[in-house]
Amino acid sequence: MKQNELRPPMGAKHAKKRLGRGNSSGHGTYSGRGCKGQKARSSGGVRLGFEGGQLPLIKRLARKRGFTNVFKTKYTIVNVGKLAIFPSGTEVTPKELLQAGLIDSTNQPTKILGAGDIQHPLLVKANEFSSSAEKKILAAGGEIKKI
């Protein structure tokens, strides 16, 4: 096949609608514009979003403020209280948290937050820890390690 032999598929190309070429063409007299009115005039019509003088939807809605930081790191969070399901002395990693059903996936970094209490020592490995979570884990005799 050569470049000059390439053709668009059947039905992809349409003939231009020829307006104002007599009534027998089907597009004569008013040329598909109906009768008189704003939309029948040349360059007639309304701007995008115009609602006939009614306050447009774009002005009726509350205005968005600020911005969204696209570089923000989103963490999968686990509270210290949820770590109590692991036996004493266990090494808790994101993989262990996934198997226990405390997180949905290991695609995002894991952060341990300080809600709840823990009574027994654990070696907790995660990407981030809140200061209160660090204190609670260390107070229970455990260790923390940032991955």
* CA dist list (Å): 13 to 5, 7, 9, 105: 16, 10, 8, 48
Coil, strand or helix: which one is 48? Answer: coil
**The domain defined by 76-146 carries CATH number 3.40.50.880:** no
Where are the domains positioned within the chain?
Answer: 76-146
Residue 69 to residue 137: CA distance in whole angstroms: 32
Tell me the pLDDT of the chain (147 aa) as tens digits. Answer: 899 999 999 999 999 999 999 999 999 999 999 999 999 999 999 999 999 999 999 999 988 889 999 999 999 999 999 999 999 999 999 999 999 999 999 899 999 999 999 999 999 999 999 999 999 999 999 999 999
| Distance in angstroms (rounded) separating the CA atoms of residues 83 and 142 | 12
Alpha-carbon span 93 to 106, nearest angstrom:
10
Beta strand pairing call for 123-126 and 143-146: parallel
For the chain, how far is it from start to end, CA to CA, in angstroms? 56
Rounded Cα gap, residues 147 and 8, in angstroms:
55
DSSP 66: S
